[in-house]
Amino acid sequence: MCHPVPEEKTLVETEDMSAFPFILPKEKPNRPLSAAMERNYNAYLAPRPEDNELYSQFKYTQLKGLDYNGGDGTISRRDPSKVIFANGKYYVWYTHRKTIVSPIGGRNADKATDEIPTTDWDLADIYYATSEDGFTWEEQGVAVPRPPKPNVGWRSVTTTDILFYKGKYYLYYQGFMEASGKRGDDCPVAVSYAEDPDGPWTPHNEIVIPNGAAGEWDQYSIHDPHPFVYNDKIYLYYKSDFDGDPRLIRMQGLATADDPLGPFTKHPLNPVINSGHETSLFPFKGGMAAMVTRDGSEHHTIQYAPDGVNFEIASIVSLLPNAAGAYIPDAFANTDDGRGITWGISHFTNATTWENNHSILTRFDCDLSLDIDDPDMKRHNEHYKPDFYYKQALNQKQLERIKKMNDEQ
Ligand code: AAL
């Protein structure tokens, strides 16, 4: 997006002094424009959201076929990979936790045991499911289990994503060597590979994307590895948590490699996206598009980088899928004509109560594709029921602050 600092505008006689036209011009009109109208033509892919290929609504559908033990917190599924189509069906991989109790929370990490998880993704393995239609899924079981101590990921393997490269499949994932919460959510990235999406998966047993050196933004964690084949290389985007003064800030970085097992080189301009939580991108035209979710100054935007590195806001959206793993048919095609996405699997965390904390997988649909034209997905006059708003309730501390202000009046 281009945000030129507007020079002080003085209308000269030769300039168009008439009122802005009733029909919104499709091209930027040759007339003095306010900063907002300059941006409306310069920043987005079209002056109207319905014509912007990177604008969409998001629709959600409950998945069929996955059991959560009545939602008691002992089974969790979260952080899905991209969806791929192979062997005549769709595949998705994800973090699967099945524990004797629900998580006790990162703050209680000193009480964690080999059986008691801290966070929702502690003591997890990587499972996978397949589907004929993307709505009903059949869990196939474990793809990558936690390896024995002291291998990378012995405490938990989580938040995986898939790469297909030169006839082989690679699953990248977060490998925890201590319970999440012991010191933040620290982990590097490991990888396993297979000839077939049904496995068997061979662990590489080495850290493939290491954390940064002390003092660097990604010194403690590499989260949400998200690989593509792009620009004749492996492009792997990731998130790191940093700062922590007092709260963590989350941004996204890029590491590239010529071989899926590395070495990976971190991009010198990292972080390349200044916001977002779980990393989620897709090839679009000659570049990469990113769904930038719930953290940071530019959360709830879709961004586009023509070179995969220099991202600009391409649209502002609502209800973006969390931890989206889209179905991206051209993710590994090394394409310079990315076609976009129409659906995928994402997650809802804290699906019931904190006592029964667990996550569920869900399906999302959208029109971020150059190949479909769904005007219903392009609506931008959004309405939610009162119930939706009232769920965003004031907390106790806020209620007390308001009461105090009233009492002091
Ligand atoms: C997520 C991801 C990573 C974090 C945790 C589990 O949604 O960003 O995977 O480590 O939360």
Percent of the chain with pLDDT over 90: 93
Distance CA 336, CA 268 (A): 23
Distance CA 183, CA 112 (A): 13
Looking at the domain assignment, is residue 313 inside a domain?
yes
The pLDDT score that the predictor gives to residue 7 is 57
CA 45 / ligand 1 centre spacing (Å): 31
Distance CA 204, CA 198 (A): 17
Looking at the domain assignment, is residue 65 inside a domain?
yes
pTM: 0.94
Q: What are the Cα distances from residue 253, in Å, to 225, 235, 304?
A: 10, 10, 15
159 C-beta closer than 6 A to ligand 1: yes
347 C-beta closer than 6 A to ligand 1: no
Atom of ligand 1 nearest to the CA of 279: 8
CA 255 / ligand 1 centre spacing (Å): 18
Number of domains in the chain: 1
Looking at the domain assignment, is residue 306 inside a domain?
yes
Q: Which of 77, 158, 292, 350 to mutate to test the pocket of ligand 1 (most atoms within 8 A of CB)?
A: 158
In which residue ranges of the chain is pLDDT below 70? 1-15
278 C-beta closer than 6 A to ligand 1: yes
Domain residue limits at 297: 59-388
pLDDT in tens, 154-212: 999 999 999 999 999 999 999 999 999 988 898 999 999 999 999 999 999 999 999 99
Element (H, E) at 37: helix 35-42
The pLDDT score that the predictor gives to residue 10 is 52
Looking at the domain assignment, is residue 45 inside a domain?
no
189 C-beta closer than 6 A to ligand 1: no
CA 236 / ligand 1 centre spacing (Å): 16
The pLDDT score that the predictor gives to residue 124 is 98
> Atom 8, ligand 1: which residue's CA is nearest?
278
The pLDDT score that the predictor gives to residue 125 is 98
- Cβ pair 54, 284 in contact under 8 A: yes
Looking at the domain assignment, is residue 259 inside a domain?
yes
The pLDDT score that the predictor gives to residue 15 is 67
> Atom 9, ligand 1: which residue's CA is nearest?
159
Distance CA 330, CA 225 (A): 18
Looking at the domain assignment, is residue 15 inside a domain?
no
Looking at the domain assignment, is residue 403 inside a domain?
no
Q: Which of 125, 161, 249, 278 to mutate to test the pocket of ligand 1 (most atoms within 8 A of CB)?
A: 278
> Atom 1, ligand 1: which residue's CA is nearest?
278
Q: Which of 223, 251, 273 to mutate to test the pocket of ligand 1 (most atoms within 8 A of CB)?
A: 223
Looking at the domain assignment, is residue 355 inside a domain?
yes
Domain containing 363 — which CATH number? 2.115.10.20
The pLDDT score that the predictor gives to residue 5 is 53
Question: The sheet that has 156-165: what strands, in order across it?
Answer: 156-165, 168-176, 189-194, 202-203
CA 278 / ligand 1 centre spacing (Å): 7
Distance CA 308, CA 272 (A): 9
223 C-beta closer than 6 A to ligand 1: yes
Distance CA 158, CA 361 (A): 14
